[in-house]
Structures are given as structure tokens and as C-alpha cells.
Chain A
Amino acid sequence: MTIIQDSRFKIQKFKRNFFVVWVLSSVLFFLFSSYTAASDVSLHGFVQGNYSFSSRASNPDDGDFKWAEERVQLRLDAAKEPLRLFIKTDAFYDHIDEKAQIELREGYIDYIEKKWDLRAGRQIITWGVGDLIFINDVFPKDYEAFFSGRPMEYMKKGVDGVKIGAYPAFASFEFIAIPIFEPNNYPNAKRFYMFDPMPNVTNREEKDPPSNLENTEFAFRAYRDVAGFDASVYLYRGFYRKPYMIPDDINSTTKITYHYPKLSVYGASLQGRALDGVLSFEAGYYDSRQDRSGTDYTVPNSQTKFLIGYQRQLWEDFTVGLQYYNEYMHEYSDYVKNQPSGLPKDRKLYQLITVRLTQFLMHQDLRLGFFSFYSTSDGDYMLNPEIKYNFSDHVWAAVGANIFGGGESWSQFGQLDKNDNVYLQLRYEF
């Protein structure tokens, strides 16, 4: 699982120029509205306050909040067959960095035919059957949002691309092309303590794959029912979304360059009803195309990832979900041989268990939730208890905590040990 490691770097994030998408969407929308006044238009959204207090220690920059913002989201949906336009825009004020910003979360046009459809623009794509474990979901994530106690939907980031769906009788298909690379977002080093193998090197640079035809990412999924199970196969050709470091000189580093190595993923998943619950399997082979021999320490080795999950309702409105996940590193002896002595070594077999408990009460107005990661190989964990209450059909609030610990100072959750936080989400939806 690619959460964070060695990602403490202070680089100006390369901001995608969504201006083009925005202008395009607006122009199309106006064309659309003049095209027909009878088109079906709806506007929804929310106003939200989201605050996360560092409960264990002040932040590295002495701040006390991991997150503190007010946010407005507007969702515009306009449809006139065979076209549909969808725009989801957020405007927010961030109290920590004291800045206001507008963010285009999604903005796309659908063209829908009987046997196929097309979606062009910024869109969120979710693949795979894992619960917060991603093997074939190779699309960008926001781990800062996840660790800061933001609502779950903010863990997924949109991609700017084109998706074509084809639906012949025997199976369904999705083809995706993403010309503009979008990395994962990791926690800000001013707000989060994270492992850094070279804290004294301040000269750091991030190198995104340039946008050109050769670097366009392709993803493909085919799915259908197989004996009552939902079966999918997945193919991906693109890049790791986690940055890997290249020191200019490993023995006396003065500059670190972060890069996103080339990656292909071949995978499959199955999900269906079994044992009075829902059973899930997912597997994927991560082909690290720039280091198949496993000798380059600046590029990850190829891996095989596997997941099994089981979900069951035990009594009224109480559901339990369990997952076991592992990552097996190929060419491990070459990895060990070539890993520089100052850098931590990953295990050959990484193992993780998750537990999710959900109880609804008071006619589902009250939800008690608990989610935990525990790595049996690294010994570290993350716990996330949460209470959510719907005050009315429009107002809800959630209070929860993210608690990290165990393992090593460099392991996935162990490095986040000092970042425990308590959060509040308060939302008015319309």
C-alpha cells in the first residue's frame, strides 16, 4: 500500500492548470443552455466547516490544527440527451495558511449512446474492491485529506482525461486515457511529522512526467458476472503516483530530486455473496518498468499485491468488515544488496489487516463507526473511531479521531505517531 514514506519535501506543488477545463466547461454550459431552455438543470451542494486539532503534539511549525477550513461546494448537473454536463466546484478558506481558493473537483461532459458512452474532463474514477486498500485503483489519492480527518470523498482526486465505456452483451469495458499526470497528495511537512532519511538536505525538486503522447496514461477494465460474482480484470500503463527520491550523491547528498517511476499494473478482482456475507478478492502485479532487475534503489521493485475481504451484518444495522492484505516484493535479494545503508529497508512480505465496524442507531440518524489498520509485519497501526449524527435532513456533524502508532519511525503508520488528531466535520447540504 502506497501511503507515505520518505515524502517529507518542501516543494511548490505543481498546480494543474484547470483554467482550460474551467473555461471549456463554462463555454459549453452556455452553449448548452442556449441550445435548450428545456434541458434538465439542477444545482446542489453544501456549506461545511472542517477542523482537526492535533491532540498529541503541536505541529512541526508549532501550529495546533492539521486542518481548519470553511468550504462551499456547488454541483451543477445539466442534461439533455444524449449529453450531460456535470461541474463540482469548491471554494474554501483555509485558516492555517490563511488563503482562499477555488478548486474544480470534477467537471466533465458525458455523451451517452445505447451501447457506449464517453466522459471527457476532470473525473473521479474508483476501481477495485478494497476498503481503503488500493491495488487496481491506480488513480490519484489525497492522503493528507485522509489523515487530517476530512470527509472520505476528499481522499479521491479527479483525473483530467477521457473515459470510454462499451457495453456489449457479454461484458462491459472501460478505456481511460489520462494525458496530464496527477500525483498523490501527501501530508504537508509543516503540519505533519513524517520520516525523512535526509532532514538536512533542503534543496529538493519534484519532477513530474511531462505531458506528451508517450507519457499519456492508459487504463482498461473489463467486467461481467461470473457465477454470481462481479469479476473484473484491470490493466494500467502509467506511473507510480508516489514520489521516489534520487539523491545527487548518496554519500554526501546536497540535492534530492523526486520522480515518479514508470509503472504497469495487471490485476483482477472478484466480489460476491458467500458465507452469509460479501466476499472480496483482489490481486495485482506491479511491474516496475524502470527497475525490473530490482537493482536501482531510486526506483521501487516489482511487487505482487493481494487482498481478501469479508463483510457481514451481524445484527440489525451492525456490519463488520475484515480485510487481509499483503505485498510481496520481487527480486528482494537485489533490493537488499543495492539499498544504501542509511535508508530503511522494506520487508519482502508486507502484511496488513483492517477492521471496520459500523452501527446505525436512531433510525439511522446516528452512526457509530470504527476503522483500523494494523500491519502484522511492521507492527504499526492507525485507528479511526467516528460518530456521525444527522440533526435534520440537511445538517449533519461528525466527530472522530485519527490515532497512529507502533512499528518503526519509518514505517507507514509508525512515522505518523506524533500526528494524532481529533476532528469535527459539520455540514449543511442542499
Chain B
Amino acid sequence: MNLTLKIWRQKDASSKGAMVEYKVTDISEHMSFLEMMDVLNEQLINTGEAPVAFDHDCREGICGMCSMYINGQAHGPDRGVTTCQLHMRSFKDGDVITIEPFRAAAFPVIKDLVVDRTSFDRIQHAGGYISVNTSGNTQDANAIPISKHAADEAMDAAVCIGCGACVATCKNSSAMLFVGAKVSQYALLPQGQVEAPDRVKNMVAQMDLEGFGNCTNTGACEIECPKGISLDTIARMNRELMKANI
């Protein structure tokens, strides 16, 4: 198929960006979206133009690196996938596709479609861990029984890949789904309970400091999350925070 791409080009963080139009031809429906971008870049290199910078790595939907905003949706039109899992069979011949970087004040653009998501790391530095030392002298793993239900629910929260689609898609640029997922994983497990109040308070404080907005229960984050993280995690985070503040 033949497509028209409208792509955000921006030289670096301090330059002004603009939408630029490109044509690509002979795109197979079996290609992934990123392979289509590879084809475009090969074409740009061969004609002496600068290729489009975009983040990508594992191309299996798990590293969380790819971060495109496609036709007004984080990771494009399909549900439950990252951009690298989106295939061209979701588009048709002659389509015009608009491609932008994830937009949020806390995710500044580095170049073209590449944004800086280290604010997520800093939230984790503020408390996204259990303070156990790594000496190898911990107790036997089966000394901490955990109900299957709790372990499964913790796992459902822990699968967050930190891609930032929740933030990009939220009208408030809120990071609550991300932080809620992390807080939920630890809240559901017996390990690390002693520091739970500080954990949630510190992570939420850092989230605010980074310039993420608040949650107004729109639920767009849950819909766009490639890993199906539930809004329940936000409720749990709020409950944990309230508990910590009492």
C-alpha cells in the first residue's frame, strides 16, 4: 500500500519543531509499524535527508521503549499493543497517518519522536523498591507464603512496561496509572509492608514534583495502556496514600 505520513520533526530539545509530510510506497500489510518507519528512514538516507529519530529496542512489546503517538492515539489504533506490535494491516492504502511524539511537560522532546521519560525513573528512585539488601542472606523464599490471588493481582500490576502511554493520552498528563501500578504491586505483597506509608508518600510527592497532572477519572489511560493496567491500581494508590496520611 501507499501512504502519506505527517511526522513531527524537531532537531533537538531547544529547536522549534514542525510537521513534515513524506510518502512511502509498497508497504506490506505484514510489516510492523516500526518496520514501515525503517523503510521510510532507508528512503530518507538514500536521498540524503536526515532519518526520523524514534525510540525502539526489543520490538516484542516488552521493553517499553517505543513511544509514538499515531493518529491521535498513544501506540496507534489497536488496543492492548505497543507501537512495535502494531501492524500495517491496521491501515489501508492511501491512508494519511499523523505521527507525533508523546506529549507531556514531564516528557520533554529530545529529538523528532524521541522524548525524555527519566521522570519515571526518578519516581522509582523516590521509593519504588523494597529496602532489602542484596547480600543473599535473605530467608528461604517459601517462608513467605502469599495467596495465589494476591500474587496474581500483584503480577497484573507489575507488568507495567513504563512506556508512558498513560501519561501521553491523559488530558492532564497524569502519571497516576504508572505510579498506581508500582504502588499496587508492593501493596499486595507482604514484603516491604513496613515502609509502605513512606513509599507511597514519597512516590506521589516526586510525581507531583516532576510536573505530572492529577487524575480526573477519565479512564483514557486504562484504555490506551498496552498492558491492560486497571484503574483499580489508582484507587489502591489513593487508598494507600490516605492510609499513610492518617
A in complex with B? no
**What residues make up the interface of A, taking CB atoms closer than 8 Å to B?**
none
Residues on B lying within 8 angstroms of A by beta carbon are none
